[in-house]
Amino acid sequence: MPPAFYTAPEFCEFEKSTLFREQWICLGRVDQIPERGDYFTVDLVGEPLIVVRGQDEQIRILANVCRHRGSLIAEGAGKAR
C-alpha cells in the first residue's frame, strides 16, 4: 500500500466510518466490571467512552463527554455512587 494510506487524514476518516461502525470491537472484559455501578473508560479512535454495569446488571457503553461543558465525565475505572 502507498504510504498515504497510513498517514492521510481522509483515509483515517474513511476507515472510522466504514470499519469501526460495522464491526464488533472488544473494549474490555466483563470481569473488569463485576458489580453494579462498576465502570471503566476507554478511548476508541478518538471517541472517549464509559463502559458501565448498570443497576439492572446490563452492560452499557456511553459517550464519556458532558454535553453541556464538553469535558470528560470520568477517568480510569471505579464505582459510581
Number of domains in the chain: 1
CATH number at residue 37: 2.102.10.10
pTM assigned to the model: 0.77
Domain with 33, as residue range(s), is 4-79
CA atoms of 63 and 77, how far apart (whole Å): 15
Residue 22 pLDDT grade (very low, low, confident, very high; cuts 50, 70, 90): confident
In angstroms, the CA 63 to CA 72 distance is 9
Span 42-64, pLDDT tens digits: 998 888 999 999 999 999 999 99
